[in-house]
Amino acid sequence: MSSRASILEKIKENQPASVTELPILSTLGLEAFDVLEKYKTVLQGIGGDFVEVKDYDSVIDFVKKNYATNKRMITTIPALAEIAETDWFNDDPHTLENVELTLVEAHFGVAENSALWVTDALLGQRVAPFITQYLAIIVHKKDIVATMHQAYDRIRNQEYGFGTFIAGPSKTADIEQSLVLGAHGARGLIVFLME
Amino acid sequence: MKNNLEHSEAAAIFNKDVKRVDWHDETLWFVREKRDKAAHQIPEWELLRETASQIKNNVLSNIHDYLVEFESNALKNGIIVHWAANADEHNKIVHSIMEKHGVNQMVKSKSMLTEECHLNEYLSEKGIDVIDSDLGERIVQLRKEPPSHIVLPAIHLKKEDVSETFHEHLGTEKGNNDPQYLTEAARLHLRDTFLTRKVALTGVNFAIAETGEIVVCTNEGNADMGAHLADVHIACMGFEKIIPQRKHLSVFLRLLARSATGQPITTFSSHFKKPRDGKEIHIVIVDNGRSNQLGREDFRNSLKCIRCGACMNTCPVYRRSGGHSYHNAVAGPIGSILAPNLDMSKNADLPFASTLCGSCTNVCPVKIDIHDQLYKWRQVLVKEGHSPLGKTIAMNGMATVLANPMVFDLAGKAGRFVMKNMPALVNNSLNPWYKQREMPAPPEESFREWYKKNGKESKAKNNE
Amino acid sequence: MKIGLFIPCYVDQFYPKVAIATYELLQKLGCDVHFPMKQTCCGQPMANSGYAHLTTGCDTNFIANFAAFDYIVCPSGSCTLHVKEHLHDANNEALASQMRKRVFELTEFITDVLKVEMISGNFPHRVGLHQSCHGQRGLKLSQMTELNAPFFSKPEQLLKGIKGLDLVSLHRKDECCGFGGTFCVTEEAISVKMGQDRIKDHEAQKVEYITGFDMSCLMHLEGILKRQKSSIKIIHIAEILNATV
């Protein structure tokens, strides 16, 4: 008998006699609060930053002012072609090793933890938001939801090969509980909250 | 964990360095406080716990069908699924994948399951170089130690220890203890690892039956750096990691990081559904005693665990004894109810390394009745003969005395007499109580002696 | 209603003052209290050590001594909890189950059954309250800090009316003292360390007394205090409440 068969057989034998019911989730995540304000507060609390912008031109201005534009920048957003490369999707991911700033868009954000949902459709390459030294994500203010319950409601049956919630820059506190930003992923995250 | 010390012996040694044990205890208590702060910011926190608990109860009662559903969906997505009955099979499967691809280097992100299976050692013997990419895990790997905590692997180490280790292995400045500096050194050292390794191994935080996808949560981004650059991503999971539907992640992702470290969510919560074009994702589903535990009605609920570590942070015994004293991949309260199932004789001491205070049960995000299970394991272990003979004799003696009012009375009188008139018989180094505590002062009379003279019935008699 | 006084074995033998205080206090509150002379022990020390199967003798003796009472009251959270959860009689499970519902720890009996909200009196001292685990988390005598739930405390409520009693706020409000039954000797190093740490918390608040509703915890703390030659004194909550009524 294969391990698969023997494991499943043992499980069937040993699991409880009857199936208990799944609980409902509809009573969760109903607390009312200022979603945008909370998003901003939480994001800063976890080491991220935000800038409120009205359009992509404002994003371009900000980036030119605050980042080393002589270093390599990549984006999946055609409107940002002026400051970043747009045709790296089919490159070997290892070649993104020298990227200084990655600019992508998110499907939506979650106020309670400031996380942003991105999938491979928006990432160009899966490694793009991780391999970069700095990360910038654009999200529309109307696309901020309150909690993870609304988030998964929105995701529902979305098709993707890969998706991730990104909340703040990468970090670790593994050395005597001292928080250090920039472990293996991005050292800093800026969120452009667009009108 | 190659030591043969029982928990109490290891703990006694741990407590010799008072300053260090205070530091370890305060550090972990601080993590508990961060968890409390996070929990108190969610008014519906207790409802969340109850919901998570019920979801996991449902999972355990239907796990066969959920696993079949999961596998079917994963296969449809182009993921390769393996099943391992035990640790040895798991290790062989991982090795065979590497062999098939002709690769002898691997980058790993945190997986307590692989610690449980001793994967690193196995692969090392086969000539495979494994680098642990989680900073805490890398530190203990360089020091040739096991992790002491499932979420904070190097919590037992001070920055001076890390500095020394990095100086020796990574060439960092001697005596530079700055965590920022040390982390940057690790970032550079491991970046090269991510860029050159063709096989990445990760754990699995949650596996979704409905869609066949797996979720891996990290703060560092190391699981993703490994997986998205490698040709082959191997994900190892205990079969109990399955949850029914995607939307259930809303409950678990709200609870996991808050319970573990007090963060609202980990930096990355990555959902892997399909491999990249031309690349492979393998999932290894592991039993290794879990189906056995599933059949133990009293202990089945330990399989609800989402590996947050909150029980360790709150446990006053864990904080003062350190993870290594539990000689098991998973330490602390949850480790103590999982380990006896794996090896009763080796782990018979663990359920007794507790005062049954109940704090663990009440921080557990999925409401595992940990302290009740600790009590029940004690009964099982004694019944199965894993109790020292001296203890059994003493307990039988106690049972006789305590069941019999006259004997009890006599024993009490005798005890007090000895304590009063021959204190040296009791106040000496053979009495473990006396090592650091005074004995209670023996009173002139017991309560029942007082009551005989002054109680209701005697007063009534005296008034007759 | 007839009340059976259930006195923990070690209180009977080593801390009779606590039992006397409990007895007197209940009478002052208008109760008809009796102490069945043949009681011994609830069996907890053996059960917690994995020898629950040896406690039938204790169970039988307990039932024989206390079956006739309307309520069984005990000045100990852990003993009360043990009986509440583990009292069995293979020959008369219905009776055992019934009796489990009638057992109460002293402070919860006063607040929940006698419905006494406050006890007036005088105890002009700085006091730290030790929340014994089994009473707090098991019997729910007060809210535990692990939960996100409203605060309540039956012992504190009773102490509220005591004039001059300055109840301090501890840093770790409900951490275990480390007694844990046979744990106190089988894991002696940790047991003592936990007790020492509890004491440090109280010392930081400059208490004169440490009180609680479980003499086992207090006995363990007292042992350490005496070894440290500390001036802090131990007093069971029954003694405070009784001295002042």
Q: For residue B228, give the nearest of A18, A42, A126 by CB distance.
A: A126
Instruction: Return the pLDDT at B416.
Output: 87
Q: Is the pLDDT of residue B460 over 90?
A: no
Assigned token pair, B193: 């690892």
Average of pLDDT values for A105-127?
97
Alpha carbon distance B218, B265 (integer Å): 9
Instruction: Read off the pLDDT band of B1 (50, 70, 90).
Output: very low
Q: Which residues numbered 122-161 in C keep a CB inside 8 Å of some CB on B?
A: 133-134, 137-138, 144-149
Among A123, A149, A184, pick the best mutation site for testing chain B contact (most B Cβ within 10 A). A184
- Is A75 part of a structural domain of the chain? yes
Alpha carbon distance B319, B317 (integer Å): 5
Alpha carbon distance B252, B366 (integer Å): 9
Answer whether A113 sits within 8 Å of B265, measured CB to CB: yes
| Intervals of CATH 3.40.50.10420 along chain B | 43-288
- Is A71 part of a structural domain of the chain? yes
- Is A13 part of a structural domain of the chain? no
Average of pLDDT values for B47-59?
98
Instruction: Read off the pLDDT band of A1 (50, 70, 90).
Output: confident
Taking CA atoms, C194 is separated from B353, C51, C189, C213, C215, in Å, by 13, 25, 9, 18, 16
Q: Which ipTM was obtained for this model?
A: 0.98
Whole-number average pLDDT of chain A: 96
Convert the pLDDT of each residue in B109-149 to its tens digit.
Answer: 999 999 999 999 999 999 999 999 999 999 999 999 999 99
What residues have CB less than 8 Å from B108, skipping those under 6 apart?
B114, B120, B130, B131, B132, B133, B137, B200, B201, B202, B226
Q: Which residues numbered 185-224 in B keep a CB inside 8 Å of some CB on A?
A: 186-187, 190-191, 194-195, 219-222, 224
Does A125 contact B at CB distance below 8 Å?
A: yes
Q: What are phi and psi of B445, to 5 degrees?
A: -135, 155
Whole-number average pLDDT of chain B: 95
Alpha carbon distance B307, C129 (integer Å): 34
Q: Into how many domains does chain A fold?
A: 1
The strand pair at C162-163 and A134-140 is best described as unpaired
Alpha carbon distance C198, A102 (integer Å): 52
Average of pLDDT values for B15-39?
97
Which domain, by its residues, includes A87? 34-194
User: How many C-beta atoms lie closer than 10 Å to residue C158's C-beta?
Assistant: 21
Taking CA atoms, C149 is separated from A26, B42, B224, B316, in Å, by 21, 11, 38, 22
Q: Which residues numbered 217-236 in C keep a CB inside 8 Å of some CB on B?
A: 219-220, 222-224, 226-227
Q: What are phi and psi of A27, to 5 degrees?
A: -95, 5
Answer whether A14 sits within 8 Å of B246, measured CB to CB: no
Convert the pLDDT of each residue in C62-118 to its tens digit.
Answer: 999 999 999 999 999 999 999 999 999 999 999 999 999 999 999 999 999 999 998
Answer whether C50 sits within 8 Å of B382, measured CB to CB: yes
B-chain residues within 8 Å CB-CB of C21? none
A-chain residues within 8 Å CB-CB of B155? 177
Beta bridge partners of A162: B272
Average of pLDDT values for C208-234?
97
Instruction: Read off the pLDDT band of C210 (50, 70, 90).
Output: very high
- Per-residue burial over C70-102, b = 16 or more CB atoms within 10 Å of its CB, e = otherwise: ebbbbbbbbbbbbbbebbbbeeeeeebeebeeb
Beta bridge partners of B284: B82, B236
Q: What is the DSSP secondary-structure string of chain C?
A: -EEEE---HHHHHH-HHHHHHHHHHHHHTT-EEE--TT----SHHHIIIIIGGG-HHHHHHHHHHHTT-SEEEESBHHHHHHHHHH---TT-HHHHHHHHHHEEEHHHIIIIIS------EE--SEEEEE--HIIIIIS-SB--TTS-S---BHHHHHHTTEET-EEPPPSSTT---S-TTTHHHHTHHHHHHHHHHHHHHHHHTT-SEEEESBHHHHHHHHHHHHHTT-S-EEEEHHHHHHHH-
Does A161 contact B at CB distance below 8 Å?
A: yes
| CATH assignment of the domain containing A165 | 3.40.50.10420
- Is A143 part of a structural domain of the chain? yes
Instruction: Assign domain B43-288 to a CATH class.
Output: alpha beta
Q: Are B247 and A153 in contact (CB under 8 A)?
A: yes
Q: Taking CA C110 as the corner, what is the angle to CA C92 and CA C206, rounded to the nearest 5 degrees? A: 120
Instruction: Return the pLDDT at A40.
Output: 98
Assigned token pair, C185: 């000797």
Alpha carbon distance B167, B142 (integer Å): 11
Among A46, A130, A158, pick the best mutation site for testing chain B contact (most B Cβ within 10 A). A130
Instruction: Read off the pLDDT band of C202 (50, 70, 90).
Output: very high
Q: Are B64 and A5 in contact (CB under 8 A)?
A: no
Instruction: Return the pLDDT at C245.
Output: 61
Alpha carbon distance C213, C74 (integer Å): 10
Alpha carbon distance B100, C30 (integer Å): 83
Convert the pLDDT of each residue in B170-210 to its tens digit.
Answer: 999 999 999 999 999 999 999 999 999 999 999 999 999 99
Instruction: Read off the pLDDT band of C235 (50, 70, 90).
Output: very high
User: How many C-beta atoms lie closer than 10 Å to residue A43's C-beta?
Assistant: 24
Assigned token pair, C33: 């209290």
Half-sphere exposure in the Cβ direction for C244 (13 Å, CA): 21
Residue carrying structure tokens 């003062």: B320
B-chain residues within 8 Å CB-CB of C170? none
- Is A7 part of a structural domain of the chain? no
A-chain residues within 8 Å CB-CB of B64? 8, 11-12, 15
Q: Is the pLDDT of residue B2 over 60?
A: no
Assigned token pair, C87: 């009292």
Convert the pLDDT of each residue in B386-422 to its tens digit.
Answer: 988 888 988 888 888 888 888 888 888 888 888 888 8
Q: What is the DSSP secondary-structure string of A104-166?
A: EE-SEEETTTTEEEEEHHHHSSTTHHHHSSEEEEEEEGGGEESSHHHHHHHHTT---SEEEEE
Among B89, B93, B137, B183, pick the best mutation site for testing chain A contact (most A Cβ within 10 A). B183
The strand pair at A188-194 and A49-53 is best described as parallel
Q: Are A148 and B271 in contact (CB under 8 A)?
A: no
Answer whether A97 sits within 8 Å of B292, measured CB to CB: no
Q: How far is CA C181 from the centre of its chain?
A: 14
What is the CATH code of the structural domain delimited by C121-244?
Answer: 3.40.50
Q: Is the pLDDT of residue B218 over 90?
A: yes
Instruction: Return the pLDDT at B259.
Output: 98
Q: How far is B309 from chain A (nearest CA, A)?
A: 14
Q: Is the pLDDT of residue B423 over 60?
A: yes
Taking CA atoms, C88 is separated from B21, B188, B383, B397, C58, in Å, by 42, 64, 19, 21, 10
Does A93 contact B at CB distance below 8 Å?
A: yes
Does A92 contact B at CB distance below 8 Å?
A: no
Q: Are C75 and C105 in contact (CB under 8 A)?
A: yes
What is the spatial order of strands in the sheet that C103-105 belongs to? C32-34, C2-5, C71-74, C103-105
User: How many C-beta atoms lie closer than 10 Å to residue B278's C-beta?
Assistant: 6
Q: What is the DSSP secondary-structure string of C88-122?
A: --TT-HHHHHHHHHHEEEHHHIIIIIS------EE
Q: How far is CA C174 from the centre of its chain?
A: 15
Count, residues in chain A: 195
Residue carrying structure tokens 């918390």: C201
